[in-house]
Structure 1
Amino acid sequence: MSDIVVQVQAEETFNNLINLRSKFIRDRRIFVPGDEMIKVLLGLGADANDLAAIQRTSSALRSDPTLPYRRSKNGRFRYNLSSSTPTLHRLEPQPFILSTKEDFVRHDSDQVREFCELDEDIQTNSILHALFKFKVFMLQGIGHDFAHRPGLDYTTLDYICTLFNVRTITNPSLVGEPALEGVHSDGADFTMTTFLGAENMTDDSAMTFVHDNRETNALPFDKTDPKYLLATFQHKDPLDTLLFVDHESKHSLNPVKALDVDQETTRDMLIFFTRKPAMAGHVSFEFDSLKKHETLPLEVDISFLSER
């Protein structure tokens, strides 16, 4: 491929990213359809051959610590934007906690949970690396102009990202709830959700409803007040991606429903919770180590994106 073609493709990717970022800054949320997202990710260096591979990673997920209809793994990453050469690198594993004070009301709120770790099969995938790049590009445009959460350190340029790979399962004995907690937010500054795929799922499953912050926490999706409904989205195609400012609204989802009720139904997602580091007094402070992962190191160059 000639240098001129590469330069044109890079310019097209950059212009597309700028347009998407402008929409995100204006609306505080953006939904990018999968076909468009794939083009962006390829422009950010992803290999098209890795798309099928990242969709297979959910088959190796393990039992969730508190939800019987979910399989999950997670990993922690740091956007090191304060460095002269910004990178994303993987952090050592830590327990995970979300609190009622963070608008997350469920039977396991305020409970310390430990998830199995994400493996190399997904960590080495170029699609994932490009998703990390996409998200930090979007955040760089919004700066500090977003609703801040108590107890987080907004004096630093850096962010902590906890990534979950999640499979929600519905079968004859279980109904898979992507958000059993009802109306909630995720204790983050920015949440991004990317669809990997589904099997045997109805077209009206797992819709995301975005609510005004005045909506009551923990209400089921079908008990909410229509006057507080801000937007509705649905992940249907591979790499469909939703990004929003987490503390400026709340959200809920309806269940995963089966086309064939006698067969298992699955829905696979990547969920990126990104926030500033926790300070003393925050519920996550003792679980917010900045030490790099010793056995699963990862470093992704994001200097090009941070300079934009």
Structure 2
Amino acid sequence: MSYLAPSKRAARASSKLLRSASRAAAGASNSLAGQQRVNRIHASTKDKAVYATTQPAGLGAGLPEFMTAGMAPRPKPTTAAPTSTLPRVPAGQLNVLEESRKPEFYQAISKVMAIRKDYVEKRFVWVPAEEMIDICLGLGATREDLEALPQTADGLQYDPTLPFRKTRNGRFCFDYDTQSVRRLEFQPFALSAEEDFKRYDSGQIRRFDEIDDELQLNTVLQALLVFKGMVVHGVEMARRPKLDYDVNKNILTLFHLRTTTNQEILGEPALEGIHSDGVDHTMTTLLGHRNMRSDSAVTFMHAMHEQTGIPLNDAKPENIRARVQHTKLLDTLMILDHENKHSLSPVYQEDLTQDATRDMLVFFTRKPVDEGHISSKIDSKIPHKVKKMEIPLFLPRTQ
């Protein structure tokens, strides 16, 4: 089998490393919480984000007190106008406020809060498929959309710089003033070596085809957005330079990806080796895979002092914090991106005569950028004029 030239592919992870990493992660997990509590908050000249001074009617308005117990507190009214008003949620889209009258909703919220607690303590969290499916359905997603979600990857387009990948992306805003998440207008994408991402296309301005309504109006995808909004809201973290932590919003870039390996090319979900994604929170969710060998696409989390850009094979076992593998629909990993680096092994074929594929959703969430950031000119907060979507969030109390 012939693969990409060495300059365009990361080294394969040896079985020896996979085994040693598993042993190292087992030992590391016992001391992880204590290690990560030390110096995990970087000094900053800016205060933490605060709640907006206004909140539109409808987000919890008129509900009994016990139904708003999990929501962010309603600020005192002022004369300032809200930045956005949540429109009526169209039929067929997720509206967690309507679900708040069902017992299953509170079971889901309880599970999310337990996950959030684990995330805050460990600085990453693994949510197995069964639990994530229960949460999404409890938040109001439908089983029909769950069955339809994997097929959305069949319409992906070719990636501008990676020949083994098909990709679409879209931008969203977690707006904590309106307590909603909405689709934003198209912008190109850039990720730089300054952000701990070293690859031959680092720093390039890349343009991806946009995700369509088939994905963004799927209630399972919308439930995943609500889930992530709940988990990351109010979490203190190591702060990245040139991001505006005073703004009461998060920008989310969603990547819809298919990685392919065949006899001509090796698909590598992390060709860049050990890296960070230049954001505050990274979430990865599996949609499906075909003909993928059992040792494929194993995710390793590394200490931040591990060298950026080196192949997984060169990682120091003592710097490996954990090891997970997405194998089932909606298996999900969340990482505090500026406190953990990560890497993945390649996608290998089970049957060498057939393509191997792996389909993922990757959710990058960060604060809006400041001047001087590589994305300062491509970080619009303007809603999408054609591909419109806005749904309510349900936010935990953080004060």
Q: Give the alignment's TM-score, normalised by structure 1.
A: 0.95
Residue equivalent to 1:227: 318
Q: Deviations over 1:217-244 (max 9, x none)?
A: 1111111111110000100000000001
2 CA distance for matches of 1:52 and 1:250? Answer: 33
Count of paired positions = 300
Structure 2 SS opposite 1:272: strand
Residue equivalent to 1:30: 125
- How far the C-alpha of 1:151 sits from its partner, in A, is 0.2
Pick the aligned partner of 2:192 from 83, 99, 117: 99
Contact preservation (8 Å) 1:62, 1:73: yes
Residue equivalent to 1:135: 228
2 CA distance for matches of 1:168 and 1:99? Answer: 22
2 CA distance for matches of 1:295 and 1:14? Answer: 32
Structure 2 counterparts to residues 17-96 of structure 1, below 5 A: 17-81=112-176, 83=177, 85-96=178-189
Structure 1 SS opposite 2:223: helix
Structure 2 counterparts to residues 110-121 of structure 1, below 5 A: 110-121=203-214
1 CA distance for matches of 2:376 and 2:389? Answer: 23
Contact preservation (8 Å) 2:293, 2:350: yes
Pick the aligned partner of 1:218 from 289, 296, 309: 309
Q: 1:149 to 1:123 in 2, by over 3 A?
A: same
1 CA distance for matches of 2:322 and 2:346? Answer: 18
- How far the C-alpha of 1:14 sits from its partner, in A, is 1.8
1 CA distance for matches of 2:215 and 2:175? Answer: 21
> Cα RMSD over matched residues?
1.4
Is the counterpart of residue 123 in structure 1 residue 123 in structure 2? no
2 CA distance for matches of 1:274 and 1:246? Answer: 9
1 CA distance for matches of 2:288 and 2:125? Answer: 20
Structure 2 counterparts to residues 195-274 of structure 1, below 5 A: 195-274=286-365
Amino acid aligned to 1:46: A
Q: Deviations over 1:189-240 (max 9, x none)?
A: 0000000000000111000000001111111111111111000010000000
Structure 1 SS opposite 2:338: helix
Contact preservation (8 Å) 2:300, 2:322: yes
Contact preservation (8 Å) 2:197, 2:278: yes
Amino acid aligned to 1:88: V
- How far the C-alpha of 1:148 sits from its partner, in A, is 0.5
1 CA distance for matches of 2:138 and 2:203? Answer: 40
2 CA distance for matches of 1:129 and 1:29? Answer: 22
Structure 1 SS opposite 2:233: helix
Residue equivalent to 1:305: 395
Contact preservation (8 Å) 1:86, 1:306: no
- How far the C-alpha of 1:307 sits from its partner, in A, is 5.3
Amino acid aligned to 2:315: T
- How far the C-alpha of 1:86 sits from its partner, in A, is 1.1
- How far the C-alpha of 1:278 sits from its partner, in A, is 0.4
Contact preservation (8 Å) 2:233, 2:396: yes
In structure 2, the gaps of 5 or more residues are: 1-97
Structure 1 SS opposite 2:254: strand
Amino acid aligned to 2:374: V
Contact preservation (8 Å) 1:136, 1:306: no
Amino acid aligned to 2:343: S
1 CA distance for matches of 2:112 and 2:308? Answer: 34
In structure 1, the gaps of 5 or more residues are: none
Q: Deviations over 1:7-36 (max 9, x none)?
A: 432221121111111111100100000011
2 CA distance for matches of 1:306 and 1:22? Answer: 11
Amino acid aligned to 1:305: L
Q: Deviations over 1:174-193 (max 9, x none)?
A: 10000000000000000000
Instruction: List structure 1 segments (4+ residues) > 4 angstroms apart after TM superposition.
Output: none
Which protein has the bigger strand share? 1
Structure 1 SS opposite 2:359: strand
Amino acid aligned to 1:63: Y
Q: Give the alignment's TM-score, normalised by structure 2.
A: 0.74
Q: Deviations over 1:16-65 (max 9, x none)?
A: 11111111110010000001100001111111110121100111000000
Amino acid aligned to 2:253: T
Residue equivalent to 2:57: none
Structure 2 SS opposite 1:282: coil
Is the counterpart of residue 9 in structure 1 residue 75 in structure 2? no
Amino acid aligned to 1:129: Q
Contact preservation (8 Å) 1:25, 1:141: no
2 CA distance for matches of 1:58 and 1:164? Answer: 11
1 CA distance for matches of 2:125 and 2:288? Answer: 20
